[in-house]
Structure 1
Amino acid sequence: MAKKQLDDDGLHDALRGLGLTNYEVRVYLAILRHPHSRIPELARHSGVPQPKVYGTVDRLIERGLCQSHLGAVNQYSAIAPDDAFLPLVAQLDARRRAATRAVEELARRHSDAEEGLTQREGRVKLFKGRPAAGRAFNALIERVQRTLDIVAQFPPVSTDYVELVNDALGRDVQVRFLFELPADADPAAYPLIGELTATGLEARRTARVPMRLGIFDGVITALPMYERAESSGDGFTMLEVRNAGLSAGLTTVFEMLWEGAREL
C-alpha cells in the first residue's frame, strides 16, 4: 500500500515537530519548490517578510538543510532531504527516548508516593465520574494480594473486571463476587456474569444489596455509588477508605449477605 502523502499543513506540522520555526518551515518549503531562488523570490513564495528571510536562510544553511550558490546575486536550493534531515530526526528520537524515561521515572515516583500514603490509616479519597471511579477501582484490584470481596450492581463501576479478576486469580487471590439480581432474572442475560464465572471465581446472587462494595485484603474499602444523572455527569461517585475498623465491619456485612445468597 502506498504511503499517504502529507499536505502542506501536514508538512508544516512535521517540520515544526523537528524543531524548525514557523519562518524556517515556510522559507524551506519555498526553497524546496523553487530551487535556485533569490531572496526576493523566496520572500514572495513563502510570505515571510524579506528582511526576515536573510536570517532565516542563514539558519537553514547552518542546519544543513539548504545551500547557497554564490554569484552576483546569491541563489539557494535544498540539500537532499533524505540526508539533510537525518541529524534532526536522530535528535527527535533522542528527545522521545528521554521523554519516555522521564515519564517512567515520574510514574515510579508517583507510585512510591501513593504507596507511602497508602500506609496512612484513615486516608479517604473521593472520585467523581465513572472513568475516575473505574480507574481507581481497577487500581485497587491490581494491587490486591490475598482477598477480594465485591458486591456488584449494574451498571458496574469497572468495565475491566474479567481481565483484572483473571490476573488476581493468577496471584492466588481469593475472589468472591456477590451480584444483585432480581429474583426472576436470568443470569444468562448478563454477559459479564458469564464471563466472570468462567474465570473460576466464587460467585453468588441475591435480590437486594444495600450498596456497591469492594473490600481489598480486608484493609481498604471502596464504596462506589450510582444515581441516575439528572443533568451533568454520569451519576457515579466512589469513596476509597483505608481503615481497618471500617473494613472489618463491612466484611461482616459482606459475610452475612454472602451466607444468604444463592450460588450462580
Structure 2
Amino acid sequence: MKAPRDVPNALLESLKSLGLTKYEALVYIGLLRTSGATATEVHEISGVPRASVYPVLDRLVQKELVSVSHTTPKRFDAVAPDQGVENLMRRIESDAESARAALDVFYREKGLEGRGDRELVWTIYGEENIRTRLAGMFGSAERSVEVLATWDILQGGVLPLLESAPDSVPVDIVTERWEGEQPSRFRLHLLPLAGLRETRLPTENLLPYERSGVFLVDDSRALLWMGAVDGQPSALYSESEGLVLFVRRHITTVTEWAKAAVQ
C-alpha cells in the first residue's frame, strides 16, 4: 500500500473548481494510485481523517468518481480521470442550467414590477462590456436594428455581433466606408460622414462623428458608444424615451445631411 504524499496545490485547486472539497480531492487522488482499497486503506493513502473517510466516499460515489464493491469489507476504486472529469463537467453544466433558470425567474419578476427602470441611463465601461450589451440587444431584436458607426468600430468587433439578430429583423448600417465584400444580410448605407467636421450643420447637439457610434433596437433600446476613458471606450445605454428619441434624431439628422451632401 502506497503511503500518502504531498499533492500539488494547483491540482487541488483545479479539482475544487470542479466542485470537489479538499478531502474529496485527496481521496480521489489516493484511489487513483491504488486498486480496490478498503475505507481503512483509503484513510492511510489519502491522509484524510478516519472519521471523514466514509462520508467522503459516499459523496464521491454520488458524483460518479468512485465505484464500490459489494464485498465485505467494501472496496473502492477510482473512475478513470477522463470519465471522472467528464462526469463532473456534466454535473456542473446541469447545475448551471438549473441556476440560470431559477435566476431568470427573479430577473423577469424585476421587469414586471414597473419600478421605472426603463428611465434609467446606464454607463458601461470597457469594450468587452459594451459588446456584451450590444450582443444582448441585437439577439433580442424583434422589429429593427439601426446602426450609425465608424468602420473602425464596426470591424473592431461589432459586425459579428450583428449576425445574432434574427433573420426576420432588418439591419440598417450607416457608415463612411466598407472594406471587403458587402454582406447581403445587412442594408448598407455608405455616406460621407466625415464631412460633418467641415459642414455648417448645427452639430452641437450631435455626437462627434470620429469618436462615436449609436445603436437603436426596436425604437425602444439605445446605446451610445463614446470616446475612450483611460484607454477604454465607454457607452450609455437606456430604454428611456429621452435617450431613444435623441438617438433616433441623431441617426435621422446625420443620415439626411449625408445623403444631401452626395446629391
TM over 0.5: yes
- Per the alignment, residue 184 of structure 1 pairs with none
Post-superposition Cα deviations, 1:13-60, rounded to whole Å, max 9, x if no partner, equal 6599575652783597279538789969974x55x38xx3x4355557
- When residues 58 and 115 of structure 1 are mapped into structure 2, their CA distance, relative to the original with a 3 A threshold, is closer
Which of structures 1 and 2 has the bigger CA Rg?
1
Q: Is the 8 A contact 1:150 1:178 kept in 2?
A: yes
- When residues 131 and 203 of structure 1 are mapped into structure 2, their CA distance, relative to the original with a 3 A threshold, is same
Q: CA deviation at 1:246?
A: 3.9
- When residues 131 and 225 of structure 1 are mapped into structure 2, their CA distance, relative to the original with a 3 A threshold, is same
| Counterpart pick for 1:164 among 162, 182, 189 | 162
- Per the alignment, residue 226 of structure 2 pairs with 225
RMSD: 4.7
The one-letter code of the counterpart of 1:216 is: V
Residues 1:199 and 2:185 aligned together: yes
How many residues get paired? 226
| Counterpart pick for 2:133 among 116, 133, 136 | 136
Q: CA deviation at 1:206?
A: 1.8
- When residues 102 and 60 of structure 1 are mapped into structure 2, their CA distance, relative to the original with a 3 A threshold, is closer
Q: CA deviation at 1:133?
A: 0.9
Q: CA deviation at 1:98?
A: 4.1
- When residues 92 and 224 of structure 1 are mapped into structure 2, their CA distance, relative to the original with a 3 A threshold, is closer
CA distance in 1 between counterparts of 2:135 and 2:218 reads 14
Identity of aligned residues (%): 10
CA distance in 2 between counterparts of 1:213 and 1:110 reads 27
Q: CA deviation at 1:255?
A: 1.9
Which ranges of structure 1 fall in alignment gaps of 5 or more residues?
Answer: 1-7, 71-75, 182-186
Q: Is the 8 A contact 2:135 2:161 kept in 1?
A: no
The one-letter code of the counterpart of 1:22 is: Y
CA distance in 1 between counterparts of 2:144 and 2:53 reads 67
| Counterpart pick for 2:235 among 203, 218, 238 | 238
- Per the alignment, residue 176 of structure 1 pairs with 172
What is the TM-score normalised by the length of structure 1? 0.60
What is the TM-score normalised by the length of structure 2? 0.61
Which ranges of structure 2 fall in alignment gaps of 5 or more residues?
Answer: 1-6, 197-207
- When residues 127 and 116 of structure 1 are mapped into structure 2, their CA distance, relative to the original with a 3 A threshold, is farther
Residues 61-100 of structure 1: pairs in structure 2 closer than 5 A: 78-81=75-78, 97-100=94-97
- When residues 204 and 39 of structure 1 are mapped into structure 2, their CA distance, relative to the original with a 3 A threshold, is closer
Q: CA deviation at 1:91?
A: 9.6
Post-superposition Cα deviations, 1:88-111, rounded to whole Å, max 9, x if no partner, equal x98996675344212222134325
The one-letter code of the counterpart of 2:169 is: D
